[in-house]
């Protein structure tokens, strides 16, 4: 197989394998956008690109030997969606008790989307770093280009997953409960897959 093609295939596989769970985040963000207008579509795309670029940049630096924090501590980023979910769920309970309906929006702007992208992909640094250590400059550039294309595919797929009007209607009615629970599960998942909880215990 041609070396460039082999690099493209390997990079695509690496991106897909490490970002499957990110599809859930993108679907929820797009559902929130369709149901309540926030975050805006461009904020989702820009936030995803900025977050993935940040993770990739940190991985490149780590590959050069610049390690700022132990890899397993990246799991602490799982506290971001966990805290968001808890706060929003508590707000939904208070609103129900007072007879009101709260917005399903948990993240309303670009900064929030970036934070969630980094939080959900923090453990990707451990996967990307050893790969970048084995690649030369040319293959690294190809890998980064594939990652950039992968972000576009993921963003499109995330919007298509919730494009049906009935799904938007369900989010409008039940999003105040559904979306916080999803974020709670994402937070627990991030903490558990980095084995941070087992280390603490």
pLDDT of residue 70: 57
Q: In tens digits, what is the pLDDT along the chain, a chain of 201 residues?
A: 688 899 999 999 999 988 887 888 888 888 888 877 888 999 999 999 999 999 999 999 888 876 555 555 555 666 777 887 788 788 778 777 776 666 556 677 899 899 888 888 877 887 898 889 888 889 999 999 999 999 999 999 999 988 877 776 766 666 667 777 877 877 777 677 665 555 554
The residue with tokens 């009615």 is: 173
pLDDT of residue 12: 95
Alpha-carbon separation of residue 42 from 51, 89, 108, 124 (angstroms): 14, 26, 12, 24
Yes or no: say if 49 and 35 are a contact pair by the CB < 8 Å rule: no
Q: How far apart are CA 109 and CA 39, in angstroms?
A: 5
Yes or no: say if 100 and 171 are a contact pair by the CB < 8 Å rule: no
Q: Which of 132, 152, 153, 147 is nearest to 8 (CA)?
A: 147
């Amino acid at each position: 197989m041609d070396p460039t093609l082999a690099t493209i295939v390997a990079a695509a596989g690496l991106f897909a394998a490490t970002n499957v769970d990110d599809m859930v985040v993108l679907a929820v963000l797009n559902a929130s956008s369709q149901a309540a207008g926030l975050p805006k579509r461009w904020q989702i795309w820009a936030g995803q690109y900025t977050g993935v670029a940040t993770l990739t940049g940190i991985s490149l630096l780590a590959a050069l030997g610049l390690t700022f924090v132990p890899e397993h501590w990246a799991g602490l980023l799982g506290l971001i969606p966990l805290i968001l979910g808890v706060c929003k769920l508590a707000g939904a309970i208070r609103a129900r008790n007072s007879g009101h309906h709260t917005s399903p929006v948990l993240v309303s702007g670009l900064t929030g989307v970036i934070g969630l992208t980094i939080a959900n992909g923090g453990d990707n640094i451990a996967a990307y770093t050893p790969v970048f250590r084995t690649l030369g400059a040319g293959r690294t550039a190809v890998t980064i280009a594939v990652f950039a294309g992968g972000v576009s595919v993921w963003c499109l797929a995330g919007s298509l997953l919730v494009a049906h009007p009935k799904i938007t209607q369900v989010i409008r009615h039940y999003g105040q409960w559904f979306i916080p629970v999803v974020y709670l599960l994402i937070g627990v998942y991030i903490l558990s897959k980095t084995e941070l909880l087992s280390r603490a215990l």
